[in-house]
Structure 1
Amino acid sequence: MEVPMVNDLKMADRQRILALLELGWSYRRIQRETGTDRETVARYDPRRESKPAKVSTGPTAKPAKVSTGSQSVCEPYRQIIEGAVAKGLSAQRIWQDLKEDYHFSHEYASVKRFVRKVRRHRPEVAAVMEHLPGDEAQIDFFQGPVTLDPQSGRWHRPWIFRMILSCCGHSYEQPLWRQKQVPFMRAQENAFLDWGGVPRVVRLDNLKAGVARACLYDPDINELYAAFAKHWGFVPLPCIPRHPQEEGVVERGGNYLKDNALKGRKFDSLEELDAFLKHWNRTVARVRIHGRTRKQVYTHFLEVEKPALKPLPAERFSFFEVGTRTVHPDGYVEVGWAYYAVPDRLLGEEVRVYWDERLVRIYHQGQCVGVYTKAPAGTFNSRDEYRPAHKPARQQAY
């Protein structure tokens, strides 16, 4: 018998589902794109009215079951097994989960035969990927051609950032030495500015720069990238691990870039590579006839996709750093070797700190408990109201 379980989502997943619901996505599409089942999505839909509870009217007679021959011992677990097969789990893993979760006492061979029968009746169908104008862009990194690093005097392979609009195929390319967080987001900003607008959804590969932790069906966008996405007005949608078909547009486009532009070339600097990519985009990529749409890429972009993009915000994103700190016994937390006071009731508590080049903001359980101008290393910064009356500030103690 299947035991009902409550699927509680993390805050980042809830926000992502709410954002996709605001875009008008159906429950089925959200399940396909995020791995969260439709029932769970429905529970977080604010537009959904709760159904009245069913009232029992007493026992009802059930029709007698007619035996049609021998039945598999796995039949009572059909729904569980079909769900596990849909997630791509192996027969061995399904058998192990049945034993652990449902005290299944039969042999592995029974599960293996049943899984083989389920898969025979569930052939995988290749879906046709269709995208509305302004609906989606896809991101990927791949290693570029050999390029000279002037600082070390050695030849290295930089990373190529490529962001492509899924509808028309228009793209933006930029070389980067490392997959670091801030350059990764700056490259996205440059793409939005180059296009003159922002797509509603940005689908990204499981990059360390954009994704804090990638679990099967449960990606966790890190805090800085979530704030970045909110500022620019798009929904970040990580690809499910080991499912490259979800990035079909950018995967094919990456191969086209490597074969058509970069194969067999060497560059004397990253700037030379960047200039070559921009020239190639202007003279080759955007003027070609796209194999899927049968239209010139840039003309299709100007006529159809660009008007559908969301408008750009008034200014670029202001980058910040974030971290967790434990309040010291003297009532201070350390940020960049400078110290900032918080209310004395928080001694020993964990606080969340956000800082940039100008300000330091300190939060406890979602409430702001301190805002300071960023101070030089080695300094102590406090407020009189944060100190108990019998404990003078450090500067007044001596």
Structure 2
Amino acid sequence: MNDLRTAIRLALSTSLSNREIGRQLRVAYNTIRRYRQVAEANHYQLDALLELDDAALQAKFGKRTPSGAIKRLPDWTYIHRELQRKGVTRTLLWLEYKEEEPATAYEMSRFNELYVAWAGRHALSMRQQYEPGERGFVDFSGTRMQWVDPATGEIHVVEIFVATAGVAGLLFALGVPSQKQEHWIRAHSEWYEALGGVPKITVPDNLKSAVLKAGRDAILNPAYLDMAEHYGTLLLPARARRPRDKPTVEGAVLIFLRWGIARLRNRVFHSLAELNAAIAECVDIVNNRVMRHYQQSRRERFEAIDRPALLPLPRRYEYGDWFGPLHVPPDYHISVKGHFYSVPYRLVQQEVYARSTPTTVEILCGRKRVASHVRSEVVGGKTTDREHMPEHHRAWADHTPDRYLQWAQSVGPQALAVVQKLLTDARHPAGALNACAGLQKLSRTHGQERFELACAKALAIQSPTLKSIRSILQNHLESVSDAKTASRLPPHENLRGAAYYGNQEAGHAG
């Protein structure tokens, strides 16, 4: 996980305190405070910051020079919790705290004084409180259900996706075929659509479909991260073995075990859709029950408190298979399912990721999309975007009959006729292509209008060659009569002058 990018998004787009963000990301809360101060002092806008690559973002928010640095307070909640563990001492925790940023760390004596003072002021257990619509918690229940194929009798095991949303803890549950990435992500889309909006923060557990590497420097599954960016929600995986990071979903799993799985235990279902319809009925019962403490149901509280604060719901996310990291070779084409797609040539030797949907292949570098192609099923084939080529490759790629015919057609019918004749009559195709390149240059030099007239003149005097058209333009003959034009052109084997026709007449007279 990119802690800097995530910290900035949390600091500038949520109501979380510096301490809460620091606790989630395991960084000093003074660091979060500094990010906010830097953004405010420089009038940085979150959308503009998130467009930056990692290096540019680090340059704007990197660590200050240590001289005159303000002392940073440790995360006392973390310190207190760690002290409950066997073998952990204040000295060890102080050393770890100091190693993070020695220049801003308190000395050990002051560290101990501050901890004792904090412990005297705070209760040992603090209730977590969240803003309306801010958080959603997701997990699999751990208990499976099943349906039976009526035709074959085959039993299909079903995983149960469970989620809660907002202050109200609105329950959602859905049966899916597996815990695989595709089903995990589809369940999120179903959940967001059921809510009618998106929580600002989504807190998953550390299953592989969500997190590739758990811990302080967590690495999120790129497909899951892409889905989150599509919906605009921030992903904050719960820390391993920290049930208090996701208390509402832990409670929701227990509730669904009692009100869903237990109630449906004796029913036989013959399709996944039938099972999910029954699950939805059980979820509605839970959400519509009046809670004694609030004298309202979860649904009523959600509609009144949480729904207005949700992010707007975009179009449904289109799931795609992810590939990478992929090394960009010198020919700037990467292989996705056996087909080769181009990326900008400047990315040669860099690493990119590819996302393949049924219709499209997208290529990303540094979390920015750098290429998009229509998906091809041709194994071994190549799809190239001209804009991805270096200039000399682009010029060579344009050196084809089709390209020249397309260009000539854009100029006019006379230019098209000249190019068609050159390509048809040529003894050597390479020579004809070079002549077409020369015609293009003449068009750019003299303008398309004069060039079209010159082509018409060359056709009229039966000399549609590069040499003739160049001479017509250089001598401004495109508007002169055909006879005068012919007399002023250089000799050419295809051009028949007055002497030729005179000799022909003499022969007939004899």
**TM-score, with length taken from structure 1:** 0.71
Deviation larger for 80-89 or 321-330: 80-89
What's the secondary structure of 2:239's corresponding residue? coil
What's the secondary structure of 1:134's corresponding residue? coil
Compared with structure 1, are the counterparts of its residues 349 and 205 closer, same or farther at alpha carbon in structure 2 (3 Å cutoff)?
closer
Deviation larger for 187-196 or 147-156: 147-156
What's the secondary structure of 2:199's corresponding residue? coil
Identity %: 23
Matched, 1:24 2:15: yes
2: CA distance, partners of 1:52 / 1:100: 18
Question: Which residue identity is paired with 1:326?
Answer: H
Compared with structure 1, are the counterparts of its residues 289 and 40 closer, same or farther at alpha carbon in structure 2 (3 Å cutoff)?
same
CA contact (8 A) 2:328 2:350 kept: yes
Q: Deviations for 1:326-347, whole angstroms, at most 9, x for unmatched residues?
A: 3456653211111234567766
Q: Deviations for 1:246-304, whole angstroms, at most 9, x for unmatched residues?
A: 2111111211110122123343332222111111223x212212255342222222223
What's the secondary structure of 1:303's corresponding residue? helix
2: CA distance, partners of 1:168 / 1:81: 29
Deviation larger for 80-89 or 205-214: 80-89
Question: Which residue identity is paired with 2:177?
Answer: W
Query: What is the aligned partner in structure 2 of residue 251 from structure 1?
Result: 250
Q: Deviations for 1:124-143, whole angstroms, at most 9, x for unmatched residues?
A: 82222333321222112113
Query: What is the aligned partner in structure 2 of residue 36 from structure 1?
Result: 27
Question: Which residue identity is paired with 1:270?
Answer: L
Please identify the structure whose Cα radius of gyration is greater: 2
CA contact (8 A) 2:167 2:305 kept: no
Q: Which runs of 5+ in 1 are unaligned?
A: 1-9, 56-78, 103-113
Which structure has more strand as a fraction of its residues? Answer: 1
Compared with structure 1, are the counterparts of its residues 296 and 343 closer, same or farther at alpha carbon in structure 2 (3 Å cutoff)?
closer
Query: What is the aligned partner in structure 2 of residue 377 from structure 1?
Result: 378
Query: What is the aligned partner in structure 2 of residue 210 from structure 1?
Result: 210
Question: Which residue identity is paired with 1:321?
Answer: D
Compared with structure 1, are the counterparts of its residues 196 and 374 closer, same or farther at alpha carbon in structure 2 (3 Å cutoff)?
same
- After superposition, where does 1:291-330 map in structure 2 within 5 Å? 292-313=293-314, 315-322=315-322, 323-328=324-329
CA contact (8 A) 1:168 1:293 kept: no
Q: Deviations for 1:113-161, whole angstroms, at most 9, x for unmatched residues?
A: x9xx99xx79982222333321222112113454135398444542111
Query: What is the aligned partner in structure 2 of residue 47 from structure 1?
Result: 39
Compared with structure 1, are the counterparts of its residues 327 and 301 closer, same or farther at alpha carbon in structure 2 (3 Å cutoff)?
closer
Question: Which residue identity is paired with 2:187?
Answer: A
CA contact (8 A) 1:148 1:270 kept: yes
What's the secondary structure of 1:16's corresponding residue? helix
Structure 1 residue 17 displacement after superposition: 1.2
Question: Which residue identity is paired with 2:358?
Answer: E
1: CA distance, partners of 2:245 / 2:14: 19
Structure 1 residue 243 displacement after superposition: 0.6
The size of the alignment, in residue pairs, is 344
Deviation larger for 42-51 or 191-200: 42-51
What's the secondary structure of 2:236's corresponding residue? strand
Compared with structure 1, are the counterparts of its residues 48 and 92 closer, same or farther at alpha carbon in structure 2 (3 Å cutoff)?
farther
Matched, 1:140 2:139: yes
- Larger RCO, structure (CA 8 Å, separation 6 or more): 1
Compared with structure 1, are the counterparts of its residues 227 and 52 closer, same or farther at alpha carbon in structure 2 (3 Å cutoff)?
same
1: CA distance, partners of 2:237 / 2:192: 19
Compared with structure 1, are the counterparts of its residues 302 and 89 closer, same or farther at alpha carbon in structure 2 (3 Å cutoff)?
closer
Query: What is the aligned partner in structure 2 of residue 107 from structure 1?
Result: none
CA contact (8 A) 1:229 1:236 kept: yes
Compared with structure 1, are the counterparts of its residues 152 and 100 closer, same or farther at alpha carbon in structure 2 (3 Å cutoff)?
farther
Could you tell me which of 280, 283, 291 is aligned with 1:281?
283
Compared with structure 1, are the counterparts of its residues 351 and 286 closer, same or farther at alpha carbon in structure 2 (3 Å cutoff)?
closer
Query: What is the aligned partner in structure 2 of residue 190 from structure 1?
Result: 190
Compared with structure 1, are the counterparts of its residues 221 and 148 closer, same or farther at alpha carbon in structure 2 (3 Å cutoff)?
same
Structure 1 residue 163 displacement after superposition: 1.3
What's the secondary structure of 1:372's corresponding residue? strand
Matched, 1:335 2:339: no
- After superposition, where does 1:74-113 map in structure 2 within 5 Å? 86-87=81-82, 90=85, 92=87
What's the secondary structure of 1:18's corresponding residue? helix
Structure 1 residue 242 displacement after superposition: 0.1
CA RMSD of the aligned region, Å? 4.1
2: CA distance, partners of 1:134 / 1:365: 30
Structure 1 residue 170 displacement after superposition: 1.8
Deviation larger for 317-326 or 81-90: 81-90
Question: Which residue identity is paired with 1:197?
Answer: G
Compared with structure 1, are the counterparts of its residues 233 and 383 closer, same or farther at alpha carbon in structure 2 (3 Å cutoff)?
closer
Compared with structure 1, are the counterparts of its residues 26 and 375 closer, same or farther at alpha carbon in structure 2 (3 Å cutoff)?
same
Compared with structure 1, are the counterparts of its residues 276 and 325 closer, same or farther at alpha carbon in structure 2 (3 Å cutoff)?
same
**TM-score, with length taken from structure 2:** 0.57
Structure 1 residue 30 displacement after superposition: 0.9
Compared with structure 1, are the counterparts of its residues 166 and 350 closer, same or farther at alpha carbon in structure 2 (3 Å cutoff)?
closer
Q: Which runs of 5+ in 2 are unaligned?
A: 42-63, 99-111, 401-510
Structure 1 residue 26 displacement after superposition: 1.4
Which structure has more helix as a fraction of its residues? Answer: 2
CA contact (8 A) 2:341 2:382 kept: yes
